[in-house]
Amino acid sequence: MFLSNLKRLGLALGLGAAMLTSSVGLPGSVGRAADTVVRYAVDGFVLGTLIRVADAKGYFTEEGIDARLLTFSYGVDTVDAVLAGQADFGVIIDMPLLARFSSGKLATPAFIGIPNPGWHKLYVSPDYTSIADLKGKKIAVASGTAQEFVTRIHLRDNGIDPDKDVELVGLASLFEIIGAMKSGRVDAAWIWGQGITELGDDPKFRFEADDSIVNQKTIALLVVEKDYLDNNRDIVLATLRALDKAAKDVANDLDEAAAIVAKGIAGDAEKIKPVIQGQNYALSFEAAGMASLKSKLDFLVASGVIDPAYDLNDYVDLEILREAAPSVEVVDEIK
């Protein structure tokens, strides 16, 4: 799910996030002449789980890496830190990364997780009986975001033209959407996170479905600068090997992973555990995820968020993941 959304969930759980807090690996990992200092930017919630686990379990040290973890509030902040030269690696969800690829400076060497669907939730009027009832209605969208993408795909896949059969009302934020719903300016909307609490028991709307009914995936990705990838390929390979080990540990011992993340963000391990479980952490460039990534890129180009268009092949390094983790799923090509 998206990091701003995850962060709001983190706040709701009383976790909080510390800005630009650094940590190091296991005792003995600092100051070894053979180790290379590598800066990993992680978010203030769970998106950086594999990095935190790899650090805590000593997998970076095994690869000759002196890992320095830098904690930022959101995934987008970690990638902006990479662009600013403050970090070597970042973690982010697909939609904001696709926009940042337009800089021409970034690349991804791996998907790191594919979160379960269900974050966005469709709210409709009480007399709604089927999606056909949305024809001619006003539907709120957060323009150019994953929420608009979900809205359009849901309509399109059910035979409704989002540009002709309904009126999409573009709004700048979740809370503007909630305001429009409460004031009766729109008839339906996909909302999420704190917005559900804000809507409360408003009698004008009821919950209909979550975004699991939309056949699209959300992807979490590892990110580096292209120049760093070209000039430090051995470090990127070592990082991927360490994260692959961490992913297996997360799958095998969720309690341990939750405890590690909770310690890193001063959170509650029991509340963090199900959130980590829902992220499905594993390295890959799996086919379904890649198809979803391409679909989102096409959407962002069509909506004018990305202009000019670019070739996703220029920003995804399939070969380095194949070399680092031969057993994981990697598509043959990006179509």
Q: What is the pLDDT of residue 34?
A: 57
Top mean pLDDT of 55-69, 114-128, 141-155 is at 55-69
Higher pLDDT, 193 or 250: 250
> Of the given ranges (57-71, 221-235, 284-298), which has the lowest mean pLDDT?
284-298
Put simply, whether the predicted model's pTM sits higher than 0.75 gets the answer: yes
pLDDT of 36 > 70? The answer is yes
pLDDT of 177 > 60? The answer is yes
Query: What is the Cα Rg of the chain in Å?
Result: 20
As a whole number, mean pLDDT of residues 24-33 equals: 41
As a whole number, mean pLDDT of residues 222-230 equals: 98
pLDDT of 199 > 80? The answer is yes
- Conformational region of residue 107, where left means phi above 0, alpha means psi within -120 to 50, and beta covers everything else: beta
Contact 91, 223 (CB under 8 A): yes
Domain topology for 121-213: D-Maltodextrin-Binding Protein; domain 2 (3.40.190)
Cα gap 152→158, rounded to integer Å = 10
Q: What is the pLDDT of residue 26?
A: 38
DSSP 262-315: HHHHT--HHHHHHHHHTT-EEEEB-HHHHHHHHHHHHHHHHTTSS-S---GGGT
pLDDT in tens, 121-147: 999 999 999 999 999 999 999 887 788
Q: What is the pLDDT of residue 118?
A: 87
Contact 29, 244 (CB under 8 A): no
Q: What is the pLDDT of residue 15?
A: 35
| Confidence grade of residue 192 (pLDDT, cut at 50, 70, 90) | confident
68 token code pair: 């320095």
pLDDT of 25 > 70? The answer is no
Higher pLDDT, 108 or 271: 108
pLDDT of 16 > 50? The answer is no
Q: What is the pLDDT of residue 335?
A: 82
Backbone angles phi, psi at 25, to 5 degrees: -85, -150
- Say what percent of the chain tops pLDDT 90: 72
pLDDT in tens, 264-288: 999 999 999 998 999 999 999 999 9
Q: Which amino acid is at 314?
A: D
Q: Please list the residue range(s) of the chain that carry CATH number 3.40.190.10.
A: 3-116+217-324, 121-213
pLDDT of 330 > 60? The answer is yes
39 token code pair: 């800066």
Q: Which CATH number fits domain 3-116+217-324: 3.40.190.10, 2.60.40.420, 3.40.50.10470, 3.40.50.720?
A: 3.40.190.10
274 token code pair: 């199900």
Q: What is the pLDDT of residue 241?
A: 98
Mean of the per-residue pLDDT values for the chain? 88
